[in-house]
């Protein structure tokens, strides 16, 4: 799943769908104001753990443990436990495998194993973006009722390969039903396994038009190439103090960013943005 130099069909398929520009909405309250200040001045983006999301079902797709023969399942878990506990003898490993396979026969046991997977996934950082800068609900939910901002990111391969540790971008898919995903796909199709868990949400969130960047086993700030951030949009209701702070950060940054003010489009319920001189 990690970006590499080989020109894989998977990478081409994902990047061909990736919009040139994506937008990250944010309030300017509390620690988020510090995150935005650091993003604008230093090009450092904060990645959060999945369990912090406002959707309680986000990144919690149940995993199916069926689909292969009992012998293959036993062999798969034996390899996993040998890697995890290299100093244990074969008898001890066999006991672990027997205990787990017995547990997976019950719904309670499968739920317990899924929690292990969710905990592992929670060590990966996620940054969320939208392909839509005029999302009325996005400004309302994620930019403090239009008092915040949206930062524009230039999503080119040249920029993406400079970010470490970064996975391929994930396009969020929206569904009425939970997808079916087999635990045993991890080895054969790891990208599909992770992108399904990390990138499938309820249809109720479809208005977000979301894309995600994933950092492997890393939470917190990640350095981005400065060229990846190329614009800032101020919300309709941004307060003067916050507006002045954002413009000060843009000037402190050094290289030129485009700055826009979001306004009401006359004669409609739509938004439009106009260039702002600073």
At residue 24, what are phi and psi to the nearest 5 degrees? -115, 115
Residue 4 lies in a domain: no
Distance CA 52, CA 23 (A): 20
**41 and 130 assigned to the same domain:** yes
**117 and 134 assigned to the same domain:** no
The pLDDT tens digits for 62-106 are: 988 887 888 988 998 999 899 989 999 999 999 999 999 999 999
Distance CA 25, CA 235 (A): 10
Residue 158 lies in a domain: yes
Distance CA 18, CA 8 (A): 16
Residue 136 lies in a domain: yes
**137 and 74 assigned to the same domain:** no
Write down the residue that tokens 């797709």 correspond to. Answer: 61
**130 and 264 assigned to the same domain:** yes
* Domain range enclosing 113: 70-121
At residue 234, what are phi and psi to the nearest 5 degrees? -90, 135
**183 and 146 assigned to the same domain:** yes
**pLDDT less than 50: residues of the chain:** 1-7
The pLDDT tens digits for 119-146 are: 999 999 999 999 999 999 999 999 999 9
């Amino acid at each position: 799943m990690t970006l590499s130099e080989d020109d894989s069909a998977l990478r081409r398929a994902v990047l061909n769908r990736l919009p040139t520009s994506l937008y990250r909405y944010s309030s300017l309250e509390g620690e988020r104001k510090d995150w935005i200040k650091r993003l604008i001045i230093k090009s450092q983006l904060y990645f959060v753990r999945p369990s912090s999301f406002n959707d309680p079902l986000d990144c919690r797709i149940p995993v199916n443990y069926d689909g292969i023969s009992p012998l293959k399942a036993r062999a798969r878990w034996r390899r996993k436990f040998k890697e995890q506990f290299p100093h244990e003898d074969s008898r001890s490993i066999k006991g672990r495998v027997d205990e787990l396979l017995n547990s997976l026969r019950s719904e309670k046991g499968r739920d317990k194993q899924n929690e292990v997977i969710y905990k592992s996934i929670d060590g990966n950082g996620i940054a969320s973006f939208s392909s839509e800068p005029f999302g009325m609900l996005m400004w309302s939910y994620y930019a403090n009722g239009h008092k915040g901002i949206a930062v524009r990111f230039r999503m080119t391969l040249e920029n993406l390969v400079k970010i470490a540790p970064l996975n391929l971008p994930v396009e969020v898919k929206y569904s009425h039903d939970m997808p079916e995903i087999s635990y045993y796909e991890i080895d054969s199709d790891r990208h599909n396994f992770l992108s399904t868990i990390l990138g499938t949400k309820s249809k109720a969130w479809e208005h977000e038009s979301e894309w995600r960047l994933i950092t492997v086993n890393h939470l917190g700030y990640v350095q981005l190439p400065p060229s990846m951030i190329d614009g800032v949009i101020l919300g309709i209701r941004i307060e003067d103090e916050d507006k002045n702070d954002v413009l000060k950060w843009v000037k402190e940054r050094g290289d030129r960013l485009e700055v826009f003010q979001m306004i009401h489009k006359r004669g409609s319920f739509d938004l439009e943005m106009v260039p702002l001189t600073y």
